Amino acid sequence: MKMKIKNGRLSPYTKNSIISYGIVIIAFVVVSVLNGMGLVSSTLQGQLVPICAYIIMAVSLNLVVGISGELSLGHAGFMSAGAFTAIVVSGMLEASDMPVIARFAIAVVCGAIVAGVLGFLIGIPVLRLRGDYLAIVTLAFGEIIKNIMNIVYAGVDSHGFHLRANPDLGLEESGRMLLNGPMGATAVQRLSTFTAGFVLVLITLFVVQNIMNSKQGRAIMACRDNRIAAESIGLNVMKYKLMAFTVSAALAGMGGALFGLNFSTLLPIKFNFNTSVLILVFVVLGGLGNIWGSIIAATILTVLPEVLRQFADYRMLAYAIVLILVMIFTYSPKIKNFTQNFMENTFRKKDKKPEAEGGAAV
Amino acid sequence: MIFLTNLINGLSLGSVYAIIALGYTMVYGISKMLNFAHGDVIMVGAYISFCATMYLNLPAWVSVILAMIVCTALGILIEGLAYRPLRGTGSLAVLITAIGVSYFLQNAALLIWGSAPKVFTSIFSALGSSISLFGGELTVTWEALFTLVAAVIIMIGMTLFTGQTKVGKAMRAVSEDNGAAQLMGINVNSTISMTFAIGSALAAIAGVLLCSSYPALMPTTGAMPGIKAFTAAVFGGIGSIPGAMLGGILIGVIEIFGRAYISSELSDAIVFGVLIIVLLVKPSGLLGKKITEKV
């Protein structure tokens, strides 16, 4: 990163980002073409938007867990906040004759803002803690958000917007319930499309990659690698960690909005601890701090249960076994050593041969 | 009197959390990993006890012992197959593996016993439903009473075990300094297996006690108590045995009081809210040791 443009050539970072966007765009075009030709099965077709949403969730969580180095177990809470905000906003705008795209965009932006503000507010106390204590507090906030969404009722009528903690909203007859406490949102207009999901994935990638390659991003990573050293050179650790946390929450809100507007009904319980953990699995399996790993893991693990459908009842069992085996094979020190030795032995033989021949010639 | 009833119920639920939290905290202390599959071991224990009494017509106490044996074996098996290959790697890798094990146990239970909730017969049903005190003004269920007694016995037992016996001292040594313990001739592998075995046996007891008080038994029964117990372990200071007991009891009491006096829907939120406040004031839990960082 010595010079951004050297002799009119792009810096390696810019090059890398352009390649990333290129791959995502190509993947989108390929899937769209296949979809147009009717080669994508209907179950997979239904998974396209959730895959995009989970990619956004995984990449945004990677910003906290991988790049900022703090274990967060409550990411689904931000997803929930984003999803239900988007649903409410889109429901309120339903009466207006706004084009669908504008309505979707406003809903997504509102979802991201609400989740981002929430992330900022939660981040202030949470980031004072370290390690597993931080993890448990994020878990606690995630559960609290889920609990609160369970008792929130919202509706809209000609008097405007109503929000209460009990079902009696006093709506007019023409009014419409948007949130039904534990029943969640019903009769949501499905605004999310695969194209919209693709655009949001690109935005997420753009934001995260730019953060990673910026001064702030390097500061965030410095705080992760050695907090004391980072503090001693004058970095405000709290500020950078909070920055990563807030951006991550806002992106998660965006992913949640995409997810929420993809289903006609959505229960608050959907965003429970298991969902947080699922997203964490994407991140860890894909590799901490590795954006591409997150994208690939999110895609494969969302599709995997569908692929395993032939195992019928055993499919989630198979999923669990695959998960455990993949973790052991990627992380086990013994297996790592074994593969390393194996690779070294095979490659050394190849390297030695010409050397030996050369020696004989002399 | 309603206050007293709530207090007893809270103490009883808290005792269950405390017994589960003991398993969490011991495993954390010794291998620095969050064993998310622990909650599902509870569920397995409850199912084993259920099957032993329902299908084999064994007496209740035999079913509890059977559940403990099965869970002990399960704990050792999980540690040996899933966690041991990953020892020494980052805690996140083991965490995800633990989640994998948790999925596995839940789905295996789903296949074996189905998703419909089973009605668990209380192991104390032979004693009658409850006892009346103060001329019938206060009724205490046998379940609540025995859960409390069991928790007290387990707490005393565990304190004596870790403080007095050779194996218990080995456990403390390994959790303090793995490498130094190994140099002193302690078999680290078998000590860790032992910890998992004890934690899982306690989980089996907790499962039976939990389902005696709250009889709906499903493959996901262990999940929420598992999270609560984990919270309790952190609340008391993870790695500390008295901390786990204190944390468990407090969480149980707060949950029951929150449900009774504030809002039944928000009881979980109240529990987690209190946890957050406590951790902000005491960042390493109530009885946790504060570790100062050295540069």
The answer to whether position B246 is within a domain reads no
Query: pLDDT category, A348, cuts 50, 70, 90?
Result: low
Q: Quote the minimal CA–CA distance from B58 to chain A in Å.
A: 30
What does the DSSP 8-state code read for residue A105?
Answer: H
How high is the pLDDT of residue B247? 92
For the CA atoms of chain A, what is the radius of gyration? Answer: 24
Q: How confident is the model at residue A199 (pLDDT cuts 50, 70, 90)?
A: very high
Confidence of residue A222 (pLDDT cuts 50, 70, 90): very high
- Interface check for A129 against chain B (CB to CB < 8 A): the answer is yes
CATH of the domain at A283: 1.10.3470
Provide the pLDDT confidence category of residue A357 given band limits of 50, 70 and 90. Answer: very low
pLDDT, greater one: A21 or A187: A21
Q: CA–CA separation, A182 vs B293, rounded Å? A: 45
B281 in A contact zone (CB under 8 Å): no
Q: How many residues does chain B have?
A: 295
Q: Is residue A1 part of a domain?
A: no
Residue range B91-125, pLDDT digits in tens: 788 888 998 999 999 999 999 988 888 888 877 77
Assess if residue A323 is contained within a domain.
no
For chain A, counts of helices (H) and of strands (E): 13, 5
User: CB of B295 within 8 Å of any CB in chain A?
Assistant: yes
Q: What is the mean pLDDT of residues A31-44?
A: 79
Residue A360, in any domain of the structure? no
Answer yes or no: pTM beyond 0.90: no
pLDDT digits (tens, 9 = 90+) for A131-143: 778 888 898 999 9
Segment A215-242 shows an average pLDDT of 91
Print the domain residue range for A102.
14-313
Q: Crossing angle, helix A291-307 and helix A315-331, to 10 degrees?
A: 150
Is residue B266 domain-resident? Answer: no
Interface test with A, best of B25, B31, B34, B103 (most A CBs within 10 A): B103
Chain A stretch 226-285, residues whose beta carbon is closer than 8 A to a beta carbon of chain B: 228, 273-274, 277, 280-281, 284-285
Domain that holds residue B76: 16-221
Interface test with A, best of B35, B107, B235, B278 (most A CBs within 10 A): B107
Q: Is residue A268 part of a domain?
A: yes
The predicted pLDDT at position A359 comes to: 42
Report the pLDDT value the prediction gives residue A335, as an integer from 0 to 100.
Answer: 81
- Phi/psi region, residue A234 (left: phi>0; alpha: psi -120 to 50; beta: rest), is left
Count of domains for chain B = 1
> In the structure, what pLDDT confidence band is assigned to residue A115 with cuts at 50, 70 and 90?
very high
Least confident of A168-177, A266-275, B1-10, B101-110: A168-177
- What is the Cα–Cα distance from B271 to A159, expressed in whole angstroms? 37
In this prediction, residue A83 has a pLDDT band, given cuts at 50, 70 and 90, of: very high
- Token look-up 């689904």 returns A76
CA distance A324 to chain B (A): 5
Q: Across all residues in chain A, what is the average pLDDT?
A: 84
Question: Can you spell out the DSSP letters for B9-26?
Answer: HHHHHHHHHHHHHHHHHH
Residue B38 lies in a domain: yes
- Taking the CA of residue A268 and the nearest CA in chain B, the distance in Å comes to 13
Nearest CA in chain B to A323: B100
Tens of pLDDT along chain B (295 residues) come to: 788 888 888 999 999 999 999 988 888 888 888 888 999 999 999 999 999 988 888 888 899 999 999 999 999 999 999 988 888 777 788 888 998 999 999 999 999 988 888 888 877 777 766 777 666 667 778 888 889 999 999 999 998 998 899 999 999 899 888 889 999 999 999 999 999 999 999 999 999 999 988 888 888 888 889 888 988 988 888 878 888 999 999 999 999 998 888 888 888 888 889 888 888 888 888 887 766 666 6
pLDDT of residue A8: 60
- DSSP codes of every residue in A232-268: HTT--HHHHHHHHHHHHHHHHHHHHHHHHTTSS-B-G
* Residue A348 is assigned to a structural domain of this protein: no
Helices (H) and strands (E) in chain B, counts: 11, 4
Could you tell me the CA-to-CA distances from A316 to A322, B105, B114 in Å, in that order? 10, 10, 14
Mean pLDDT of A278-283: 90
**Distance between CA B62 and CA B48 in Å, rounded?**
11
Cα B274 to Cα B173: distance, rounded to the nearest angstrom? 33
Which residue of chain A comes nearest to B295, CA vs CA?
A228
Structure letter (DSSP) for residue B174: H
Whether B203 maps to a domain, the answer reads yes
Give the end-to-end CA distance of chain A in Å, rounded to a whole number: 45
Q: What is the DSSP letter of B158?
A: H
Of the ranges A30-39, A298-307, A315-324, B39-48, the best mean pLDDT one:
B39-48
pLDDT of residue A186: 80
Helix, strand or coil, per DSSP, at residue A176: strand
In the structure, what pLDDT confidence band is assigned to residue A6 with cuts at 50, 70 and 90? low
Q: Helices B223-236 and A131-149: crossing angle, nearest 10°?
A: 130
Euclidean distance between CA atoms B46 and B64, whole angstroms: 9
Is residue B293 domain-resident?
no
Phi, psi of B283 (to 5 degrees): -65, -15
Q: pLDDT category, A360, cuts 50, 70, 90?
A: very low
